Structure 1
Amino acid sequence: MAFSCASGKHRGPSRAKRRTVNAMGVAALTTTGVIGTLAGPAFAAGPPVEGTGLLGIVTLGDSVARTIDAQAAAQQKAAERKQAEQARAERRRAAEKAAGKRAAEEREAEKRAAREAERRRLNAFVAPISHSYVSTGYRAGGSLWSSGSHTGIDFHAATGTPVHAVGSGTVVETGWGGAYGNQIVIRMDDGTYTQYAHLSSIGVHVGERVVPGRGIALSGATGNVTGPHLHFEARTSPDYGSDIDPVAYLRSHGVNI
């Protein structure tokens, strides 16, 4: 009787079958992306596959693990670099924002200082004639004045001397004023009025705004005078007879005369 050899557990797989199994394992690993393009070299580097064929697979797994570790380390370093760059960018933006804020605050401080300086300038008073003196005082008596006394003060000045507005205000009257000759009346910002008389020429017009020290006329000897000078009055209204002490008025506004 002829006996056929039944397949049994006591017989190992043939060489061809072992190669097939190993190749299938490598293909499976390659397909799943575990070893990628390194599968071939890693597999070739191992010793000849014998016995169960596990040696090649173990060697291939160590290579993949090293590759994964290297990739993870590289990714970690890249992430750390990115975080460092983001932190530097945040610090740079914060510094730029702080610098912009400081610059804006400095500009605002400069504007406030300029406004305050302008406010002080507009509220300041000056003498109507620079480097002069009072030649005839307030309320001086005599026949030269129709009221019997001087309603203002006279500043010594030759014809053609510049006359200045003593403070900020609006011109309300210009032209001939009878005994005052050529005159200018200004309504001051504090509600009082100032008059400049006996002028040789006038340099402003009604409705014009003036500021302290603004040149408004030239002194002269027009009207009822005995010689060139500037007649200056301070008033509570634009009308004759509402005069107040011009020296006290100017001194109350900081003018030293």
Structure 2
Amino acid sequence: MASFTRVTGKHRHRRPSRLARSGANLAGIATLATTGIVTSLAAGPASAASPGKVPEAEQTGLRQAIVIDDSLARTVDAQAEAQQAAADVAAARAKAEAAAKKRAAEVKAAKKRAAREAERKRLNAFVPPVENSYISTSYGASGGAWSSGSHTGVDFHASSGTTVRSVGAGTVVEAGWGGSYGNNVVIKMKDGTYTQYGHLSAIHVSVGDSVAPGAKIGLSGSTGNTTGPHLHFEARTSPDYGSDIDPVAYLRSHGVSL
């Protein structure tokens, strides 16, 4: 009886596909990332020849990847810190420069205010018409020497050629011969009053000139109706004769001590 014998043969084991191998490698990398331990990834004949041996990180390339990644992160962090430090320094410098500019502007403004105030005070100041002098004939003194019967101003003692000054700031409205006043100057003051300087030997200003307190306007003398050199000084409410007011009270009201 014929017997049938089953043909036997070897069963071939198929190699894992490339996709499967890649998946296994990725799984191994993930394991390394989470545990820091590299497991056997069926990396080929070498692994098969040495079962249980853990591949060196240098062989897998994973350590290099991790080191490069850490180094890059540190570099990025260092660059970010440097940029932030530079930004902080720039911000501090800008703040300091702005503060310095503000202080400089405040100092400049304060100096301007002080200068304006000093100029205002200077222009509003009054001085005696002759320095280091005294009144030799008072206001209102009576006598035949004056056509009105009384003295319409005051006489300041002054030898011929003594500097005569404007008592305050104003504008010259008359400069020349004034009859019995001889050579005289009349100035309209800033407050609207007028001052007159008579018997001058020389005149140093012209009509229309602006004068400051203490400005030299001429030299004392004895021109006109006079018995000797001196300065005749009047304060008036108008430029005309007869509008005189007490010149001593006028000067004292502007801070001049006589």
TM-score for both structures, normalised by structure 2: 0.81
Residue number in structure 2 paired with 1:55: 55
What residue is the counterpart of 1:217 in the other structure? 218
> SS of the residue aligned with 1:142?
coil
Specify the code of the residue in structure 1 equivalent to 2:256.
Answer: V
Once the two structures are superposed, the pairs formed by residues 1-257 of structure 1 within 5 Å of their partners are: 7-9=12-14, 49-51=46-48, 55=55, 59-257=60-258
User: Which whole-Å CA distance do the structure 1 matches of 2:215 and 2:10 have between them?
Assistant: 132
Give the whole-Å Cα distance in 1 for the aligned partners of 2:158 and 2:149: 24
C-alpha contact (below 8 Å) 1:49/1:56 kept by paired residues: no
- Give the share of equivalent positions with the same residue, in percent: 58
Shift, 1:7, TM fit: 3.6
SS at 1:93 equivalent = helix
Q: 1:49/1:156 Cα in 2 relative to 1: closer, same or farther (>3 Å)?
A: farther
- Return the alpha-carbon distance in structure 2 between the equivalents of residues 89 and 4 of structure 1: 83
Task: Provide Cα deviations, 1:22-71, integer angstroms capped at 9, x if missing partner.
Answer: 9xx8xxxxxxxxxxxxxxxxxxxxxx843399936783112211220121
| Separation in 1, partners of 2:225, 2:9 | 160
**1:154-176 CA-partner distances (Å, limit 9, x unpaired):** 00000000000000000001111
TM-score by length of 1: 0.82
Task: Compute the displacement of 1:230 (Å).
Answer: 0.2
Q: Deviations over 1:150-202 (max 9, x none)?
A: 00000000000000000000000111111000000000000000000000000
Q: Partner of 1:36 in structure 2?
A: none
SS at structure 1 position matched to 2:88 = helix
Structure 1: which 5+ runs fail to align? 26-47
Q: Distance in 2 between matches of 1:252 and 1:56?
A: 108
Contact 1:49/1:55 (8 A) holds in 2: no
Equivalent residue, structure 2, for 1:30: none
Q: Secondary structure of the residue that 2:238 maps to in structure 1?
A: coil
**Using the alignment, how far apart are the partners of 2:80 and 2:152 within structure 1?**
90
The code of the aligned residue for 1:174 comes to A
Q: Is the 8 A contact 1:180 1:222 kept in 2?
A: yes
Aligned-partner Cα distance in 2 for 1:195–1:5: 145
Alpha-carbon distance between aligned partners in 1 of 2:12 and 2:125, rounded to the nearest angstrom: 123
Q: What secondary structure is seen at the aligned counterpart in 2 of 1:96?
A: helix
Equivalent-residue separation in structure 2 for 1:167 and 1:234 (angstroms): 12
Secondary structure, aligned partner of 2:47: coil
> What amino acid does structure 2 have at the position aligned with 1:77?
A
Tell me by how many angstroms 1:3 deviates.
8.2
How many residues are paired up? 229
The code of the aligned residue for 2:172 comes to V
What CA distance in whole angstroms lies between the structure 1 residues aligned with 2:143 and 2:127?
29
Q: Distance in 1 between matches of 2:251 and 2:118?
A: 21
Report the AA paired with residue 80 of structure 2. Answer: A
Secondary structure of the residue aligned to 1:55 is coil
Aligned partner letter, 2:238? S
Give the CA RMSD over aligned residues: 2.8
Q: Determine the C-alpha separation between the residues in 2 that align with 1:72 and 1:128.
A: 87
The Cα of 1:75 is off from its aligned counterpart by: 1.2
Correspondence for 2:28: none
Question: Take 1:105 and 1:227, find their aligned partners in 2: how far apart are those partners?
Answer: 57
